[in-house]
């Protein structure tokens, strides 16, 4: 029992929780993008309605609270280490934090609209007028998270097994690229902020529309970010 009371013991417990929650979170993310979304394209209206009312809320519960536990345990591990570390852990953490905000500030609020509208239609009422926009907004944010998950998982692993020393310029360059992609993914929400109204238009699904395109973009982003942290050092 002494081991559990040491810093290493606490960190191992946090790491275990981080892995369990992270697998749950990212597993549900891949389920939504690779399985459910593709199924909904072919499902009959009644089947889709039943799934949205009874299956989707359950999946979203594990999805969003898996994200919460993943974030908290990750912050706990970084806190125990007291700073330092490779650039990889900071790039991975940045991606994870942005993905968390997408879950709670974009995907979940819009999914609630979709579930409520579907329930209203099933009860013979009119759909909510904003349901179309909610579908598009949640879908783009979910695709953006799936895109980010690929480099995020790489850099989390690389922080222990293939680390790079911290370089401010490399981290800033990686951050700018990530934020540009996040701006596109979050544009349907950001465009309503007055201070951002004059920035270039975003919100394009582009190659993310297909699973193949999403996979290519995710792998491409991973390679570009790797090259940044590997060669700018």
pLDDT at 2: 53
Residue recorded with tokens 């009959």: 44
pLDDT score of 69 more than 90: yes
Domain count for the chain: 1
pLDDT at 5: 62
Task: Name the pLDDT band for 4 (thresholds 50, 70, 90).
Answer: low
pLDDT score of 45 more than 90: yes
- The rounded Cα 76 to chain-centroid distance in angstroms is 20
Residue recorded with tokens 């590997």: 230
Task: Name the pLDDT band for 84 (thresholds 50, 70, 90).
Answer: confident
pLDDT at 220: 98
Q: Report pLDDT digits (tens) over 118-131.
A: 999 999 999 999 99
- Does the CA dihedral 18-19-20-23 come out positive or negative? positive
SS3 content of the chain, % helix, strand, coil (to 5): 85, 0, 15
User: Which range of residues forms the domain containing residue 42?
Assistant: 3-231
pLDDT at 197: 76
Question: Which of the pair, 108 or 233, is modelled with greater confidence?
Answer: 108
pLDDT score of 6 more than 80: no
The 10 Å Cβ neighbour count of residue 50 is 14
The 10 Å Cβ neighbour count of residue 201 is 8
pTM of the model: 0.94
Q: Report pLDDT digits (tens) over 207-225.
A: 999 999 999 999 999 999 9
Tell me what the pLDDT averaged over the chain comes to: 94
Q: Report pLDDT digits (tens) over 167-197.
A: 999 999 999 999 999 999 999 999 988 887 7
């Amino acid at each position: 029992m002494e081991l559990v009371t040491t810093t290493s013991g606490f960190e191992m417990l946090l790491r275990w929780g981080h892995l369990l929650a992270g697998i749950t979170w990212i597993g549900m993310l891949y389920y939504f993008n690779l399985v459910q979304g593709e199924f909904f394209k072919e499902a009959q209206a009644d089947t889709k309605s039943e799934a949205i009312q009874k299956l989707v809320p359950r999946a979203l519960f594990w999805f969003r609270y898996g994200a919460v536990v993943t974030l908290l345990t990750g912050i706990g591990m970084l806190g125990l280490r007291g700073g330092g570390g490779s650039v990889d852990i900071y790039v991975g953490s940045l991606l994870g934090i942005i993905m968390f905000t997408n879950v709670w500030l974009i995907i979940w609020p819009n999914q609630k609209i979709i579930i409520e509208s579907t329930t209203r239609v099933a009860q013979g009422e009119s759909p909510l007028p904003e349901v179309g926009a909610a579908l598009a907004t949640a879908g783009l944010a979910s695709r953006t998270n799936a895109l980010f998950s690929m480099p995020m998982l790489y850099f989390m692993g690389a922080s222990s097994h293939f680390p790079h020393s911290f370089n401010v310029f490399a981290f800033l360059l990686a951050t700018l690229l990530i934020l540009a992609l996040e701006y596109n993914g979050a544009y349907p929400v950001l465009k309503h902020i007055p201070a951002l109204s004059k920035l270039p238009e975003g919100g394009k699904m582009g190659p993310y529309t297909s699973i193949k395109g999403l996979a290519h973009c995710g792998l491409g982003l991973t390679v570009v970010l790797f090259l940044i942290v590997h060669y700018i050092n």
